[in-house]
Structures are given as structure tokens and as C-alpha cells.
Amino acid sequence: MKRRTSLWGVVPLVRLRWGRIRTADVLVAEGYLLVAVVLYAGLWRDLGSGYLVASMQDQNLFEWLFAAQAHAVAEGRNPLFSTLQNAPLGVNLMANTGLPALAVPLTPVTLAFGPTATWTVILTGGLAATATAWYWLFSRHVVRSPVAAAVGGAFCAFAPPVISHAKAHPNFAATFLIPLIAISLIRLPAARRPVLHGVVLGVLGALQVLIGEEALLIAVLAVAPYAIWFAATRRRLPRPVLVGAATAAAVSCALVAYPLWLQFAGPQSYRMIEHGPAGNSLAAFVAHPSQSIGGLISGGPGGLAMNGTEENAFFGWGLVALVVVLAVRLRAEPAARIAVAAGAVGFLLSLGPQITLDGRPTGVPGPWALLTELPLLESVLESRFAMACVPAAGCLLAIATQRVLDAPRDRRIGRVPVRVLWAATLVVAVFPVVPVPFETVTRAPTPDFYAGGEWQRWADPDGTLVPVPLPEPLHAEPLRWQVDAGMGFALPQGYFVGPAGPEQLGSYGAPKRPSSLLLDGVAATGQIPPISDADRARLAADLRFWHADSVVLTDGPHREELRAALTALLGPGTQAADAWVWDVRAITR
């Protein structure tokens, strides 16, 4: 082990050779993996039917994304676009966070064990790998002690904002490439072969784009002010930096050129998504998250978050106070200053266009107001920028722990040994936000009509079946039925993001057609409106638009009323397995 000067001659850092792995490194990584497995224990116990309650319909969506890409790979088709949903227009998977850099390599897992296994592996492995990657960065470039690095790495993967997304958003749970990109940048000035170093950096950047562009965007914007200041105060950049950065940009652009073209200009792409103001309230930073010990005691966020998967702050009073104190006390440490600068940018941007206090607008504009109309940023939920505070706080905790470990063992504050005091401080600050295992239930079984193969009698090869009510973001179970049926037919509508309206703005789900609205009303209320010839004509037009083969009604709320409405619209149906079916190929062909 030796000390070097890195980060372009500014930060004195610890450096170990890449190939040297210590016993402590292995033990720490195993510990992270154990914690992640405990959090997802419910899924691991039931890889066939386990479902994360807090994911709402997102688990159905991501499992479908993984299954669609696996089948595309197996059949030699483009894994970045699918016509299995939103028939006949299809779904742009690059515009729907399909995680192809993980989903495609895990195709064998998906095909052999099902997408729930892939979902579980990505979430569990993503958290463990993220913690390990930050541990690696801290232990090789910030602190000497594996214990100090382990504290920082654990916080980076299991902090409240990450755990909130880990219920439903694997693109934010699996951010392990970001610390690897940071390590590559740290080592770039001293690279002996900057071209090769740049190739590695470019590949890492491209892979992160294919896992989660938004996490990369948040990281880049958080460190951008410091990076700009740093570059502006240097007379010239080292040659390895220029060569490596140019190589990395060329490699990364070449690798993601087609995926990004598809995302922003390809079929079923959209211009932007309008979310409206979504900044964090100041009170959200000191509240306890729902998926934590403190949240179970206090009742959770109390309306300060958009939903349970968007608790993007929620650090608690104790942790916020500790981080503020550390930011002041460690200001002499260059690495701490960089972390504080990035965390402060993330904090300020996450407040949104107008600062709110306890959910009430203050009338004071936030920095986000200057960025909200910029391309790319106009589609981002600004509250997510608080995730930049997580590695910043993790870095401060690692440095502080190292300082305590460097102090003489007999050093005391009053009568209390400093190590005992620091351990107690960590417990008081961190214990309330320690995550608890995710609640998992067994999902309802797939109807026999789909699971048993009966559907094959009612659809042509690659045909379209119309489940009633039609799938949508709030009712995405038919996506699972399609997976269990081997992805052998297409579905109209669905759960995805696609273009809608003359301005081609991003919309969750397809714009609903008239007959879909009629059937949704019956499913919601049990009331059957008078059925007219105009309703029948509209349904026939919708069925032709969907290229439908059959309409299928399985068990669910107000099934008899839906059957009566479909009979009035299409005539008598036929019972097949546990479903009622209306063959409409005579209408649509």
C-alpha cells in the first residue's frame, strides 16, 4: 500500500493495485450480499410467484421488460423494441428503462427460471455490487481502513433514497458502475496507456447508459460545478486526461449511438414527460423513510413523497445533523470538500423550481427553475437529485471513521473513549434509517386459459389477444399472463411510456380507445350503460386497429357485468378453460 497524489495533483489518496484483493475485501463484499439477500428474502423464498408489495405495478413492468428482451435475443430479434405490448404500434424499450446491459446477459436466467428470478438477481446483486464498488473506491482512493471504507460503502447502497427505489426501480438499485467510472477518472492522469484507459472508461460509460441514464445524469450534474471550477483554475490538463477523455467519448458514442437514436428519434419515441413540480420539501430531508426502523415507529413520510418508491431524501434529523457537522469539521480534507460540493449541488437541485417547507410553498425559487426547460432535464423528477447526497454522505462517514481509527486507542472525550463515542454516534444517527426487509406476497395465479395453453386455439401465430379490462399502468397483471404464456401473443395497450397527443409527449400507457373506456367503466362500477349500434361499430373499429384475434374475459371484479356488456357488443361468447372468449377474427380479417 502506498500514498499517491491523484485527482490531477489535488487530492492525496490511498492506492492499492487493482489485482490485490485482501481477505477484508472479500468479507465486506460477502457482508453486503448477505444484507441484500435478507432485504429480498421474501422474493428468494418464492422465485416463481413472489411480489414486492411496495412496487405497485412496477414489478410486472420490469419482469415483462426482462422477458421481452430475453425472447428477442432467443429469437434473433432487436431486444430494444417490442411489439408484444401496445399492439400494433409496439414499445420502445430504450425509452422505458429496459436495462439491456443487464437484461440481455441474464437472458439464460430469464428463459430457464423466469423473469422473477432475473428481477430478484438484479435487485439483490445491484445493491450488493453498488455497496462493494463504493467500498472499493473508498478503500483504494480515500481511506486506508477496510472498516472505514465498509461504513461508507454500506451507506451508499442502503441509504434511504436507494432503498426507496430498490422496491421497484432496479435502474437506481444497480448503480455499481458509477463508482467504477469515478475510479477510472481518478486514475486517468497517471495512466501509462491513456488510449486503453479511455477505452475502458468509454465502455463503462456506455454500459451505464444501458442500465440507467438518469443515475448517470444526476452524477454528472452533481460533480459538474466542481469539475468546471477545477478545470478553469488549471493552466492546462495533463496529456493522458485529454487523450483518455477523447478516446472514452469516441468509444462511448459509438456504442450508444444506435440505442440513443432509437430512444429519442426511433419508433414510439417521445419528446419529453411532463411530471409537474416534484421537488423535495425541506422537511423531507429530516423525516424517516417508510422502509426503515424509524419509519415503522413514526409512521413514515407523512405525505412528503410522491409515493413509496420516490422517497428521495428522508435521512432523518440525526443523520442530517451528523453530516452537516462532518462537512464543517472535515473541510480541510480535499476529498471531503469534493463530496460536500457534489452533495450540496444535489441537495439544491432536488428542491425543485420553488422551495417548499413541510410541503408548503415558500415563494422562494430554487436553482432548478433555471434548468427545468433544458433538454433531457425537462423529463427528470427533480427530487431524485437528492440521491447525489448519498455517496457524498458515505464519503464523509468513511473519512470520519478513518480519523477516529487513526486516533490513539486511549484517546477519550471526557471519560468516553473516542471510538466508543463515534460508534454510538453512528448508531444514533443511522439506526432510525436502517432498512427493514421488503414485504413480499404471493401473487394471484395466472388464469389457466393462459398458463395452460388454451389461448393457442384463439390466436393466430403472433396474433393479438384482448384481455378485458385492457392492461394499463394501474392494471398490469395481463403482462404477467403473457409471460407465463410464453410471450406467444401480443397485447393492446399495457404499461409503458410512449408518445401521446399532437406534441408527442411521453404518456404512461396508450391513449385509450372508446371501447376500452366503456369496458373500464363497467369494470370499475359494475354498471352497464345502454349498448348502441354506435358502440358496436366503435368496438369493431378498435378491434381492427388492434389486429385482434379474440377478446378474453377471465375472473375479476364485476366479471358477470363485463360478460353481459361483451355479449351485448359481440354476441354470445364461448367458455374456454377458466375464461370466456369471443373470437373476432371474422371482424378484423
Cis peptide before 179 (omega within 30 of 0): no
Query: What is residue 378's predicted lDDT score, i.e. its pLDDT?
Result: 85
Query: CA nearest 390: which of 289, 297, 519?
Result: 289
Question: Is residue 521 exposed (0-12), middle (13-18) or buried (19+ Cβ within 10 Å)?
Answer: middle
| DSSP string of 511-560, one letter each residue | PPPHHHHHHHHHHHH---PPP-HHHHHHHHHHHHHHTEEEEEE-S-TTHH
- Asked if 561 contacts 530 with a C-beta cutoff of 8 angstroms, the reply is no
Torsion angles phi and psi, residue 363, rounded to 5: 85, -5
Report the SS3 class of residue 26: helix
Q: 548 — alpha (psi -120 to 50), left (phi > 0) or beta?
A: beta
Element counts in the chain: helices (H) and strands (E): 23, 16
Q: Are 313 and 537 in contact (CB under 8 A)?
A: no
- Closest to 271 in 3D by CA, of 381, 378, 353: 378
State how far the Cα of 141 lies from the Cα of 134, in Å rounded to an integer.
Answer: 10
Q: Residue by residue, what is the 3-state secondary structure of 156-198?
A: HHHCHHHHHHCCCCHHHHCCCHHHHHHHHHHHHHHCCCHHHHH
Q: Evaluate whether 139 touches 125 at the Cβ level (below 8 Å).
A: no
Q: Which residues in 420-477 belong to E strands, given as ranges?
A: 440-442, 464-468
pLDDT at 109: 98
Any idea where the domains of the chain sit in the sequence? 22-55+114-433, 448-500+507-588
100-116 b/e (C-beta count within 10 Å ≥ 16 → b): bbbbbebbebbeeebbb
Task: Give pLDDT < 50 ranges for the chain.
Answer: 1-13, 15-18
Within its chain, how far is the Cα of 389 from the centroid?
Answer: 17
pLDDT (0 to 100) of residue 19: 52
Q: Distance between CA atoms of 267 and 269, rounded to whole angstroms?
A: 5
pLDDT tens per residue, range 550-579: 999 999 999 999 999 999 999 999 999 999
Q: Measured between alpha carbons, how far is residue 347 from residues 87, 285, 337, 363, 383 in Å?
A: 41, 9, 15, 18, 9
Which pLDDT score is estimated for 6?
45
Extended strands (E) in 201-359: 354-357
Give the model confidence (pLDDT) of 155-194 as tens digits.
999 999 999 999 999 999 999 999 999 999 999 999 999 9
